Amino acid sequence: MTVRCTSISRRSVIAAAAGTALAAPLPLRAATYPERPLTILVPFATGGYNDRYARAIAPFVQKHFGQPVVVQNRPGGGTMLGNMFYLQQPDDGYMVMVHSAGPFIPLSVLTRNAQYKVEDFWMINLPSRDATLVACATSKPFTSIGDVITQLKRDPRSVSVGIQPASADLVNLALLMQGHGIDRSRMRVVTYDGGGPARTATMGGHVDIGLVGGEGFLPVKDRIRPLLVFSNEKNEDFPEAPLSTDHAKASGFAPEYVDGSQRGFVVSRRFRDRAPDRYQIMFQAIERATKDPECVAALKAQQLATTWYGAEASNEAYLRSASLMEKYVDLLKQA
Amino acid sequence: MVDLAAAGSAVALLAGSLDAWLWVVPGLLIGLVFGAMPGISVSMAMALVLPATLYMEFLPAIIFLTSVYTGAGFGGSVPAVLMNIPGTSSAVATTFDGYPMARAGKHNEALGLALVSSCLGVLGSYIVLFFLVQPIAELVLRIGPFEMAAIAIWGMVLLGSLGGKSLSRGLFAAGIGVLLGTVGMNTAGYLRGTANIPELLDGIPTIPAMVGLLAASQLFGLVNTHFLVEAEEDRQISLSRIVAGGMMTFKHPRTLVRGSMIGALVGAAPGVGSSISNLLSYAEARRASKDRDSFGKGNPEGVIASESANSSSEGGSMATMLALGIPGGGATAILLAAFAMHNVVGGPRFMDQNRDIVYAIILSNFAQAVLLLFVGTAFVYCASSIVRLPLRFLIPCVLVMATMGSFAMEGSIAGPMTLFVFSVLGWLMSSAGYPVAAVVVGLLLGRLIETELLRAWQLAGGDIGEVLNHPWALVIIALMVLSLGFSMWQDSRRRRVEDITAG
């Protein structure tokens, strides 16, 4: 089982690395495509954002794709199992992923020795961006990020921080501490395996502050105090939270940050290269579905993102955050 | 604490909506059937019916899903009793005494016991929820790493010597379980013992491993037996005996209440609740009992303790979901997804603005608990007919079901492979006289203890004195020491009395 898995993914890696040169002309003509149902693969369990997004947009993709659309969940290993499974599928254009591509794909490569590369995946559109939020329970004494920094500067051990190990949030924490010259190794960092537990710990006051994706805090907005959001534009959900870029400029360090989550439709680069006709058809179906006014209304009603950024902007955002994570890979490994 | 006006309009809401009632019995039945199939968990059963709820109104949709939740919660105990297969990790403790009862020809009674304790557990937990939804949620939110670690250690200490005549063998088996539980990525992001198998990144798949250890290993041992129940006259399926078994529940009110309390509180703890509450409740019932040695050999109290705790976990996790919007486990995550599908955001604001709907959900669950009694009786009556099936048919069927279930659970061949490896391990261990149940307990609790202790250590920054700032954790540990000491003192006194009377 293992041997088979690794050998196939290694083969696919080599194939992808060699690019189109190696790829023999495949009998994949667009004339009959699509003639079978399309599967949306979600590398997470049911009930999360990606799952909800996939299920909500599925009927509209179906409408524009012209074939039934089914959603399949394949969670595990921080999306690594789903990613490996996806790369093993034929490039026939009958499977597409809905994924938190950033940060999960780069993280699995950097911290879990995944047998694929960040560039093996190609973004169609990443409408949902969830920024890391620094927050504390309303019972905590902090009223601004300044309070937290002052106390940390006085004694790095005085504030406990709840966070997910090997996450975009951790990179952001590291950047913030580096900027302020605070020794992170002396801080009390408490690790949680999942955004949910990290939020519960923040909300319940088990930790003094938490760094975790802001969106999940929406239902419990009244119980937390947002202190800082890692972004360069105002957060719609937490408009009162100051921006990390402003904070960095005011404090005199580089305003760098990584996006907490970049979610949306993802295919393999290999599929795009080998079956460009099919890729175009799939791409257009997803674009039309995303822009469909009915779809926009339906998704908005479920608090799901609907923006169309397109492939170019989405890939750029994905690769930018991946390279930032690569740059700070050492920070990720010392949780 | 109860908003009477809202409760009134909740009654009106339920009375005026035929839809809300129409779905209760089908929901219970779907839950029972799926829950009873090894390998389909409560959350999977709910996920399967989730798409259908998109076309319902909000309240009927939620009521339908909670009916499936209630049904599946009990459904898992049917294979636990009849085949030693815990359908979910929350039915593990049910196998400890339920299965020995079934083998002794008391399958009717065992199922009756399990059913009535489950119904009472659900009912009890929702009654508590009705009055105390907010305080319970607040209390659960306070359970941090220190407190959770203390609770898990309590469970581990009490269950350490589980079912073993020899303490050293019990501890050895539990140690193996704890070690196996550490495979995978820990909460701090370190990979251990995965041998480069990506499927092991999240640890050993618990349910296939449990089914392998408990059920498959048992089945190999039954190869030379013809029927599950040896004596032919005991092989009957009797409604009156199911009812009689159900009535037995009322003879042990303390076990029942204790189990429900543990279930509602510990079971509500996000993430791990229901899989530990049944073990803890079982362990406490065993500790408090005068007749400790009969546990694991078919003591009805063991079934009551486990079932009342795992079913009352439902009310507990509903409390955190409704009041805080935190999904404690897969089932409540799906309920929250259903909320989102109907354009409702669960959480404190929903609670404040829609108290009538919250009360309607709770009240409907009272009705579900009562209806479960009847639907469940019919269901166990049919299900218990498998005791009449010769084992040469039953064993292959169960093995096939378990294999398919473990495949469904993991969605890949990793499930059946885990099942196979652990069946062999379980069979080897049980034939050498090691208690396999202790491995399961180690597997379930070991990981929990490690995770919580690690977080406690991180939180303390390596300073042991930090535990003094968490009085509740200390209270829990103190209670544990006191109760253990009390039992030991009672034991020694009883032995002395026995010595005197014998001498």
Q: Can you give the residue ranges of every domain in chain A?
A: 31-130+260-333, 148-251
Q: What is the largest CA-CA distance in chain A?
A: 68
Residues B479, B432 share a domain = no
Residues B314, B243 share a domain = yes
| Cβ-defined contact of A77 to B199 (cutoff 8 Å) | yes
In chain B, the residue whose alpha carbon lies closest to the alpha carbon of A302 is B343
Interface test with B, best of A188, A218, A223, A224 (most B CBs within 10 A): A188
Say if residue A30's pLDDT is above 60.
no
In chain A, the residue whose alpha carbon lies closest to the alpha carbon of B271 is A197
| Cβ-defined contact of A191 to B202 (cutoff 8 Å) | no
Six token digits for residue A106: 């780069």
pLDDT band at A17 (very low <50, low <70, confident <90, very high): very low
pLDDT score for B115: 94
> Which residues in chain A have their CB less than 8 angstroms from residue B343's CB?
301-302
Six token digits for residue B390: 């010769």
User: Of chain B residues 41-100, which have a CB less than 8 A from chain A?
Assistant: 43, 47, 50-51
Q: Is A292 left (phi over 0), alpha (psi -120 to 50) or beta?
A: beta
pLDDT band at A109 (very low <50, low <70, confident <90, very high): very high
Dist CA B42 CA A319 (whole Å): 39
Six token digits for residue A324: 């930032």
Residues B255, B205 share a domain = yes
Dist CA B100 CA B337 (whole Å): 39
Do A31-130+260-333 and A148-251 have matching folds?
yes
CA atoms within 13 A on the CB side of B91: 36
Residues B213, B162 share a domain = yes
Interface test with A, best of B53, B54, B134, B187 (most A CBs within 10 A): B187
| Cβ-defined contact of B189 to A52 (cutoff 8 Å) | no
Dist CA A215 CA A221 (whole Å): 10
> Which residues in chain B have their CB less than 8 angstroms from residue A76's CB?
199, 201-202
- Of B144, B412, B417, which has the smallest distance from its Cβ to A204's Cβ? B144
- Interchain CB contact of B141 with A (< 8 Å): yes
Six token digits for residue B435: 């208690």
Beta carbons of A138 and A225 less than 8 angstroms apart: yes
Residues B485, B430 share a domain = no
Residues B360, B387 share a domain = yes
pLDDT band at A24 (very low <50, low <70, confident <90, very high): very low
Dist CA A84 CA B192 (whole Å): 20
- Phi and psi, residue B191, nearest 5°: -90, 135
Interface test with B, best of A6, A189, A220 (most B CBs within 10 A): A220
pLDDT score for B323: 83
Collect all residues with Cβ–Cβ distance below 8 Å to B140 and sequence separation of at least 6.
B265, B268, B269, B270, B316, B319, B320
The number of distinct structural domains making up chain B is 2
Beta carbons of B111 and B242 less than 8 angstroms apart: yes
Six token digits for residue B141: 């939110």
pLDDT in tens, chain B (503 residues): 577 788 888 888 888 878 788 889 999 999 999 888 877 778 888 888 887 887 888 899 999 999 999 999 899 899 899 888 887 778 889 999 999 999 888 999 999 999 999 999 999 989 988 888 888 888 888 888 998 888 888 888 877 656 556 778 888 888 899 999 999 888 887 888 888 888 888 889 888 898 888 887 777 778 778 888 877 777 888 888 888 888 988 999 999 999 998 888 887 777 666 778 888 899 889 888 888 788 888 899 999 999 999 888 888 888 888 888 777 777 888 888 888 778 787 777 788 888 888 899 999 999 999 999 999 999 999 988 888 888 888 888 888 888 888 888 777 898 999 999 999 999 999 888 888 888 888 888 888 888 899 999 999 988 888 888 899 899 989 988 888 888 778 778 877 887 777 65
pLDDT tens, residue by residue, A241-271? 999 999 999 999 989 898 888 999 999 999 9
Which of A266, A276, A267, A269 lies closest to A26 in space, CA to CA?
A: A276
Residues B464, B479 share a domain = no
Residues B345, B377 share a domain = yes
Compute and round to an integer the Cα radius of gyration of chain B: 22
| Portion of chain A with pLDDT greater than 90, in percent | 58
Dist CA B291 CA B293 (whole Å): 6
Print the domain residue range for B133: 4-469
pLDDT score for A23: 43
Alpha carbon of residue A205 to chain centroid: 26
Interface test with B, best of A139, A302, A325 (most B CBs within 10 A): A302
Worst-scoring range by mean pLDDT, A22-31, A272-281, B401-410? A22-31
> Which residues in chain B have their CB less than 8 angstroms from residue A77's CB?
198-199, 201-202
User: Of chain B residues 354-393, which have a CB less than 8 A from chain A?
Assistant: none
Beta carbons of B111 and B373 less than 8 angstroms apart: no
- Give me the CATH topology for the region A148-251: D-Maltodextrin-Binding Protein; domain 2 (3.40.190)
Beta carbons of A293 and A76 less than 8 angstroms apart: no
Beta carbons of A169 and A132 less than 8 angstroms apart: yes
Say if residue A289's pLDDT is above 60.
yes
Say if residue A39's pLDDT is above 90.
yes
Say if residue A14's pLDDT is above 50.
no
pLDDT tens, residue by residue, A178-188? 999 998 888 99
Exposure pattern of A145-166 as b/e (b: 16+ CB <10 Å)?
Answer: bebbbeebeeebeebbbbbbbb
Residues B484, B398 share a domain = no
Place of tokens 């498998």: B386
> Which residues in chain A have their CB less than 8 angstroms from residue B345's CB?
218-219, 303
- Of B47, B50, B188, which has the smallest distance from its Cβ to A165's Cβ? B188
- Interchain CB contact of B199 with A (< 8 Å): yes
Beta carbons of A98 and A104 less than 8 angstroms apart: no
Beta carbons of A309 and A125 less than 8 angstroms apart: yes
> Which residues in chain A have their CB less than 8 angstroms from residue B317's CB?
none
Say if residue A84's pLDDT is above 70.
yes
Dist CA A209 CA A189 (whole Å): 10
Beta carbons of A58 and A69 less than 8 angstroms apart: yes
Residues B503, B455 share a domain = no
Residues B321, B364 share a domain = yes
- Of A45, A55, A111, which has the smallest distance from its Cβ to B189's Cβ? A111
pLDDT score for A181: 92
Instruction: Give CATH superfamily name and number for A31-130+260-333.
Output: Bordetella uptake gene, domain 1 (3.40.190.150)
Strand partners, A99: A264
